[in-house]
Structures are given as structure tokens and as C-alpha cells.
Structure 1
């Protein structure tokens, strides 16, 4: 059964009807270095040429700054495929990227303690 918002590309029993590797034309490596927490945002430029439906959906999700992981979750695609789609959009000039705030020090103690405190509050 297809639920509202899933569109014709999902089937509850079979899952995604269009396999992820076909979305990225079999490519597995993005041309732009993207982290799960990298922020992507639309530039407002008009894309030249044809964008597939997943490219258009990703671009629509990126009206404001959004992390790569969130785009992948909304598209219901593996992160590797999402990174390829987003790098295509960066290459054609319709998206910009920004590395995560902790890019230079990913093991920042203050950041890790803030995450731990947030997790404790959730329990």
C-alpha cells in the first residue's frame, strides 16, 4: 500500500521501485567532499539542463541550510547516493556547501559533552 506523500516510487511490499544505483547513474563517488553534517543550501540559480526527479526533490529541500543526512532521510535514499545527487547540484551551481562547524576539531570535548547532556535529557 502506498501512503500519502510516498508517490509512485515506493511500494510497501517491494520498497523503492527505482533502485538507488539508477538514481545516481551507477556512480558511487561524489565530485564534492561532503560530510554527513555538511550544510547544503540552494543558491537561487536556475539549473541548466535536465534534472531528474530526485535532483529536483533534493534542490527543493535545500531552500534553507540543511545537513546532508537530513536530505538523505527526506529522500529515503542511502547517504552515498544522496551525496552524488548533491554534488551534481553543486557542480551545476545551484547548491553551495559549508563544512560542519566542528570540521577542524571533530573531537572537541565541549561538543561531545553537549551531545551527551542532550542525550541524557532525552532519557
Structure 2
């Protein structure tokens, strides 16, 4: 189908920025990680020891490799990764879910406030230790 030599109405690239990859292309159309993973914004992503050089794995996308590399210096939350990679949170959740499935990273959930010890109990313990 010819467009008569006209420029298409939809550009898949930006002349200044270069090619643009749509977020759904990075996730292969998936909109969420597998149901096994709870990936809250404050969940911390920690690399597994086996992920010493993720760049050698030719099946990983560059975004996957960058996530593992960013987490290798210090654990990062999903929100921090999204900001650092300049990607939507949903895309980062899918990419991190892939890495969890590949056992290259693990995700640790923060302790919910309801499960934290009561400050009154902690004060009593401190007072009891001082009394010894």
C-alpha cells in the first residue's frame, strides 16, 4: 500500500532522540509480573549471588541487565529503579518479575507497620535492661 510519497502520519522515531521503544515492546505486551510476585513500590530488589555478570546472558534485554547492575551496588526499590531507568513503574515491575523468575534477583518486602513491635513494649524492654 503506497502513501503517494507522503510522510506517514505516525512517526516511530523522533529526529532528535532517535528510535523510540514503546513500553509494551519491552515487556512483550505483558502488563504485570506473574501472580507469585508482590512488587510494591517500596519492595527492595537485591541481586542473587549467581548474577555476578548478567551481561553474559544473551537472553536478557538491556533493561534487565541494567536493573541487575543498579541493584548490585545497593538494593533498590521498584520506585527507585523506575526513576533511575526513566521507565513506567508497570514496566519495571514486569522486568523485575522476569529477573525473579530467572533467579537473578530476589525481592524483599518491608515489614508492615502492623507487625512492628509496639513502642511501649520496646520502652519496657529497655527499662528492664537498665534495671539489670
TM-score, reference length from structure 2: 0.63
Match of 1:55 among 64, 86, 89: 64
Structure 1 runs not aligned, ≥5 long: 1-9, 111-123
Matched residue SS, 2:59:
coil
Determine which structure has more spread, i.e. the larger CA radius of gyration.
2
* Superposition deviation, residue 13 in structure 1: 5.7
Is 1:68 the equivalent of 2:71?
no
| Aligned-residue CA RMSD (Å) | 2.8
* Superposition deviation, residue 42 in structure 1: 0.5
Q: 45-54 or 16-25, which moves further after superposition?
A: 45-54
Shift >3 Å, 4+ stretches: 10-16, 46-49
Instruction: Within 5 Å, give how 1:31-110 maps onto structure 2.
Output: 31=34, 32-46=37-51, 50-63=59-72, 64-101=74-111, 103=112, 105=114
* Superposition deviation, residue 100 in structure 1: 2.0
Structure 2 runs not aligned, ≥5 long: 1-12, 120-132
TM-score, reference length from structure 1: 0.68
Tell me, in whole angstroms, the C-alpha distance in 1 between the residues paired with 2:114 and 2:102. 30
* Superposition deviation, residue 74 in structure 1: 0.9
Deviation per CA, 1:38-90, whole angstroms, max 9, x where unpaired? 00110121466610011111111111211110011111110001000001001
Match of 1:29 among 27, 32, 44: 32
